[in-house]
Chain A
Amino acid sequence: MGASAIAQGLFRETPEPTLIGGRHRDTGRIVFPCPDDAARWEPIDLPRRGTLWSWTVQRFRPKSPPYIGPEDFTPFAIGYVELPGATIVETQIVVADFDSLTIGMTMKLVTTDFATAANGDAIRLYAFTPATEA
């Protein structure tokens, strides 16, 4: 079984996971995801590391639709990560111990197979995780 990205144009997986943001052609403002408006926004690679801006834990299963995660629900952390010089992105957080999350800690981009498609393929989403190495 394979894995496919939850949507096209959000992130790239090779050589390393990279989030694709959008930079406004006139103002230089950077947002995520890149708006579908090539006349005004150009795609750019966002920094892979940043700092945790805020976080919480989703303790109950979000309603479906729209949520597509497993019926057998496990709480997961979400947060905002500030990517220096770019923007602050909302993200799932891959972490074993929720209590270890601290605002300001260094985070790095990964991917997570958080759901399964009807054909059995994993559905892949970008995520951040605490960066343990220096």
Chain B
Amino acid sequence: MQDVYIVGIGIHPFGRSEGLSGLQQGANAARAAMADAGLEWPDMQFGFGGSDSAGNADTIVNELGLTGLPFINVKNGCATGGSALIGSWQAIASGAHDVGIAIGFDKHPRGAFNAMPAEYSLPEWYGEAGFMVTTQFFAMKLQRYMALHGISPTSLGRVAEKAFRNAVHADHAWRRSPVDLDTILNAPMISDPLTKYMFCSPAEGGVALVLASAKKARELGRDQVRIKAAVIRTRPPGSFEVFAPSMDIERGGAPTLLASKAAYEMAGIGPEDIDLAQLQDTESGAEIMHMAENGFCADGDQEEWLANGWTNIDGRLPVNTDGGCLACGEPIGASGLRQVYENALQLRGLGGGRQVPGDPRTAYSHVYGAPGISGVTILER
């Protein structure tokens, strides 16, 4: 397997883009990524891409050019972007290609995600009774975690406060105004213990990454950021997932535990070697639980971490440096690639007002979503 580099990064701002389709936002991101690499669409030897609810990614050739390249559609829920990245990484690591592009985009209607029972092989009564609401799952997973490990509502607030503070300096973020801790904690409850500032919202946006072999990256003068690990895992027995009418009393692992372990093994490093991380923060508590699931601290230690600001930009492990899903929103197909975009930007030292100090060399990204999937990448400079 040969080394693979990220030679170009591009993003179409997250949030709302009236008048632009999800696909057009993906095309904008692709143009930006290719310009960043000093390349053009005819240079792309292949593409992988996807969206959850904005159509087939391969129709992007209508926007970017009919070059005849192979383009593979990915539809893998919250791991869509991560899967596109893995496909692209494998295409180059295997030696089959020298340069190609991974694209993720989406455009969701306003309001909460609306799921139907049949899409999840569930009986109709389950939706009729009011159980087809994803926020319930996140709240119940968190409620139990807080009770078992002594996490306070104040810590949930600190995560959201940090997200909005970091996003002030991120051009691509959606919600870029600071919100103070009291406002977050006293806002209307959506699903106890989570208030409205503690949940991310469905959104729009696009991200593209141009990947290349070492030889090609050197030619382009872009051999700085290397992919050390790219992994996706589905759930093990006994994991707690969304839309479960019942679950076994004997509890088990989580897809994140599997993906994280595999990524560290592939990279040959451990959590103590990571300089910054983007962790799935569908809601504040998810970031807290994922700090432990990805090996950065023990269950319950997050109280101390957050009270001391250790996940701030200038902390020992900056987390969600662009405000994460909480501040950027979640266009499902693009969200995982946004994390990798942000990590590549930070490793190049181009984070501006949100740049992690101390010349970071390793960056970790983690997505998690229905129906129990997780993707992890580790980048190194």
Interface residues of A (CB under 8 A from B): 6-7, 10, 21, 29, 31-33, 53-60, 62-63, 65-69, 76, 78-80, 82, 85-90, 92, 98, 103, 114-115, 123, 125
The 8 A CB mask of B98-130 against A (1 = contact, 0 = none) is 000000000000011010110000011111111
Q: Return A22 CB to nearest CB of chain B, in Å.
A: 9
Which B-chain residue is minimally distant from A77 (CB atoms)?
Answer: B192
A80 / chain B contacts, CB cutoff of 8 Å = 140, 247
Which residues of A lie under 8 Å from residue B193 when comparing CB positions?
Answer: 56
| B 323-343 contacts with A by CB, 8 A | none
Could you list 18 A-B pairs, sorted by A, with CB under 8 Å?
A33-B123, A53-B144, A54-B144, A55-B143, A56-B139, A56-B193, A57-B191, A59-B188, A59-B190, A62-B133, A66-B124, A78-B136, A80-B140, A80-B247, A82-B249, A90-B131, A114-B129, A125-B125
* Those of B231-245 within 8 Å (CB) of chain A: 244-245
Given contacts A87-B246, A88-B247, A103-B143, A65 and B190 within 8 Å (CB-CB): no
Give how many B residues have a beta carbon under 8 Å from the other chain's beta carbons: 35
B116/A66 in contact, CB under 8 A: yes
Question: For B143, what are the chain A residues with a Cβ–Cβ distance below 8 Å?
Answer: 54-56, 103
Q: Contact: A65 with B189, CB < 8 Å?
A: no
| Contact with A88, one of B114, B188, B246 (Cβ below 8 angstroms) | B246
Shortest CB-to-CB span from B136 to chain A, Å, is 6
Q: How far is the CB of A112 from chain B (nearest CB, A)?
A: 10
B198 / chain A contacts, CB cutoff of 8 Å: none
Residue of B nearest to A21 (CB): B246
Q: Closest residue of chain A to B247, judged by CB? A: A88
Assembled-state Cα–Cα distance A63/B112 (Å) = 8
Beyond the given A56-B192, A86-B249, A103-B143, please list 8 additional residue pairs across the A-B interface where CB-CB is below 8 A.
A6-B128, A7-B125, A54-B144, A65-B116, A78-B140, A88-B247, A88-B248, A90-B131
Q: Quick check: is B96 within 8 A (CB to CB) of the other chain?
A: no
Answer yes or no: B141 CB below 8 A from chain A CBs: yes
Given A7-B123, A54-B140, A65-B116, A103–B147 Cβ distance below 8 Å?
A: yes
B131: which of A21, A32, A78, A86 is its contact (CB, 8 Å)?
Answer: A78
Closest 7 CB pairs of A and B: A66-B127, A56-B139, A32-B246, A54-B144, A7-B125, A54-B140, A68-B128
A78 contacts B130, C-beta separation under 8 Å: yes
How far apart sit A124 and B350, CA to CA, in the bound complex (Å)?
59
Contact call A87/B249, Cβ cutoff below 8 A = yes
A115-B136 contact in complex given A31-B246, A63-B111, A90-B245, C-beta closer than 8 Å = no
Determine how close the nearest CB of chain B comes to the CB of A82; give it in whole angstroms: 6
Q: How far is the CB of A81 from chain B (nearest CB, A)?
A: 10
Query: Is A56 within 8 A of B147, CB to CB?
Result: no
Asked if A63 and B114 sit within 8 Å, CB to CB, the answer is yes
B187-232: which have CB < 8 Å to A?
Answer: 188-193
Distance from A118 Cβ to chain B, minimum over Cβ atoms (Å): 13
Q: In the complex, A55 Cα to B144 Cα: how many Å?
A: 8
Which of B125, B132, B248, B249 is close to A62, meaning CB atoms less than 8 Å apart?
B132
Instruction: State in angstroms the CA–CA spacing of A119 and B123 once bound together.
Output: 22
B248 to A: closest C-beta gap in Å: 7
Chain A neighbourhood of B114, CB < 8 A:
63
- Of all chain A residues, the one with the shortest Cβ separation from B193 is A56
B190 touches A87 (CB 8 A): no
